[in-house]
Amino acid sequence: MSNYIQTVVDKFELRVRRSFFYTEDDLWAKVEGAKVRVGVTDYLQRTSGDVAFVEIIKKGLSVKRRAEFGTLETAKTTISLLSPISGKIEETNEKLVEKPELVNSDPYEEGWLAVLEPDDLENDLKTLMSDEEYFGLMVRKLKDQYKSESG
Amino acid sequence: MKPNAPKKVIIIPCSGIGKAFGSVSRETTYEVIENLRKETADTVCLALLVSGDEESLHLVRNNKCITVDGCPLQCAEKNVRLAGGDLAGSFRVVDAYKDNRHLKPRAVTFLDHDGRQLAKALAERVAVKVDELLRTP
Amino acid sequence: MMSEQSEKKVGIISCSGEGCVEGTISRIAARLVLERLRPDTTVTICLPLFLAGGREERTFARDYPTITVDGCKKLCAKIGTEHYSGKPASSIIVSDFTPNGKHTELGSRRTLNQETLIIAEQIAERIAEEVDKILECWE
């Protein structure tokens, strides 16, 4: 089985990584033992454009679930990144300083944003979507987008 | 370019049709070859290069080349390399954007004010590189 | 892979030849179709990316009908499409629309003037007609 659930819109393949958790704001969370790695989804990077800047709060700082922990800037837009879980920032992806395009080219792997030490993982995970649920949401968003652009 | 003509630097944009930065790459090239460095820079069509057009291949193999790419896929740089071109410089529109964050080109078909301004800013850098390359044997 | 949408779409593969005004006309015509005339039923394919092996571009061009728009008789878009994805459903050459085919008299390759913009719009209309024909025949 592929690591991804995929759909194709026009010429673009949009992928959702299996076994990750997701938010309605198009961020993903991957549980890695006692830590959680977070990033943005393929849908978000595709609809936002080429990433020019990624700014994440400093290591050691804490963030509440759904609070802003950083921003992602493209020529089209600046996106507020809302944390999938409450926790402390343990690590940020330093590669994104020089190569923010990794968010576009590899959003689920090399384009990760931060690693957090969770405050209450068990309860926070209950608020997140599964891969299949997020895939369904993504398809609905795409259809709504298509309808609004069609007028 | 005629045989025995003075050397020129060849600027190759990606001209990506799907993104505003693709249009900026194209406009940057025109600003250099038609305005800033009319006598010392020229362009060649990237599609012709990739298609293996002999005249275009000869041009890039016998003159120093600068590529201008609109997105991280860097089609112009990669394809000039593949064609065996003398790649002497490469620019990305996004890097010019990083120094000009207030400019947010939105239009693709006909560049808007911000797009034209970003192209001008990038063209200045490319022009400096053209001068540098022509000074170097 | 789940394909959620197999909607009827036509791919427009246009040259953007920087060296001549016909390349700019070709580009603008394709964009006018995408943005104004047939936004729901067309997709543009980036030619350099397509020729260089762009997977999404090639897959789309293989699976959906395409219209190629070339600025000149070197036919980069048409030949490339035939080679990598299959015969296009329709092919248009800009020089067939320019008066007497004399590009040196057409003006700037950087910015279209009134005359060349009209040519681009005429070509865009032709592309749109071809899109409609293709979609009518779609089964």
Domain extent listing, chain B: 9-135
> Could you say which DSSP state residue B36 is in?
I
Give me the residue from C1, C4, C43 closest to A11, CB to CB: C43
- For residue B71, the chain A residues in CB contact (below 8 A) are 50
Higher pLDDT, residue C99 or B50: B50
Burial string for A124-141 (b: 16+ CB within 10 Å, else e) reads beeebbebeebbebbbee
Counted domains in chain C: 1
How far does B27 lie from chain C, in Å, by closest CA? 7
User: What are the mean pLDDT values of chain A's consecutive 10-residue runs (151 residues total)?
Assistant: 90 94 98 98 95 96 98 94 98 96 97 98 97 96 70 42
What's the pLDDT score for residue C139? Answer: 64
What pLDDT digit, counting tens, does each position of C3-44 carry?
Answer: 344 588 999 999 988 988 999 999 999 999 999 999 999 999
Span C92-102, average pLDDT: 80
Q: Is residue C132 domain-resident? A: yes
Q: Do A50 and B98 touch (CB under 8 A)?
A: no
What's the pLDDT score for residue A1? Answer: 80
Give me the residue from C39, C40, C60 closest to A11, CB to CB: C60
Q: State the amino acid at position A96 in one-letter form.
A: L
All domains of chain A in start order, with CATH: 4-145 (2.40.50.100)
Give ipTM to 2 decimals: 0.90
At the top level of CATH, the class of B9-135 is alpha beta
Question: Residue ranges of chain B with pLDDT lower than 70?
Answer: 1-6
Q: Is residue C43 domain-resident? A: yes
What's the pLDDT score for residue C121? Answer: 97
How far does B120 lie from chain A, in Å, by closest CA? 17
| Runs of H (alpha helix) within B87-112 | 93-98
Is residue B112 helix, strand or coil? coil
Higher pLDDT, residue B124 or C109: B124
Q: Is residue C4 domain-resident? A: no
Q: Is residue C113 domain-resident? A: yes
Q: What is the mean pLDDT of chain C?
A: 89
How far does C49 lie from chain A, in Å, by closest CA? 13
Distances (CA, A) of B44 to A80, B8, B73, C102: 41, 12, 19, 20
Q: Is residue C1 domain-resident? A: no
What's the pLDDT score for residue C5? Answer: 45
Is residue B14 within 8 Å of B75, Cβ to Cβ?
A: yes
Residue ranges making up the domain that contains C107: 10-137
Query: Residue C17 sits in a domain of what CATH number?
Result: 3.40.50
Q: Is residue C2 domain-resident? A: no
What pLDDT digit, counting tens, does each position of C46-85 carry?
Answer: 998 898 888 899 999 999 999 999 998 899 999 999 999 9
What pLDDT digit, counting tens, does each position of A75-114 carry?
Answer: 889 999 999 999 999 999 999 999 999 999 999 999 999 9
How far does B122 lie from chain A, in Å, by closest CA? 15
Q: State the amino acid at position C33 in one-letter form.
A: V
What pLDDT digit, counting tens, does each position of B110-133 carry?
Answer: 999 999 999 999 999 999 999 999
Q: Is residue C116 domain-resident? A: yes
Predicted TM-score of the model (pTM): 0.90
Q: Is residue C17 domain-resident? A: yes
Q: Do A9 and C5 touch (CB under 8 A)?
A: yes
Q: What string of H, E and C letters represents the secondary structure of chain A?
A: CCCEEEEEECCEEEEEECCCEECCCCEEEEEECCEEEEEECHHHHHHHCCEEEEEECCCCCEECCCCEEEEEEECCCEEEEECCCCEEEEEECCHHHHCCCHHHHCCCCCCCCEEEEECCHHHHHHCCECHHHHHHHHHHHHHHHHHHHHC
What's the pLDDT score for residue C2? Answer: 35
- For residue B97, the chain A residues in CB contact (below 8 A) are 52, 75
For chain A, the residues whose C-beta falls within 8 A of a C-beta of chain B are 49-50, 52-53, 73, 75-76, 101, 104-105
- For residue A139, the chain C residues in CB contact (below 8 A) are 4
pLDDT band at C95 (very low <50, low <70, confident <90, very high): confident
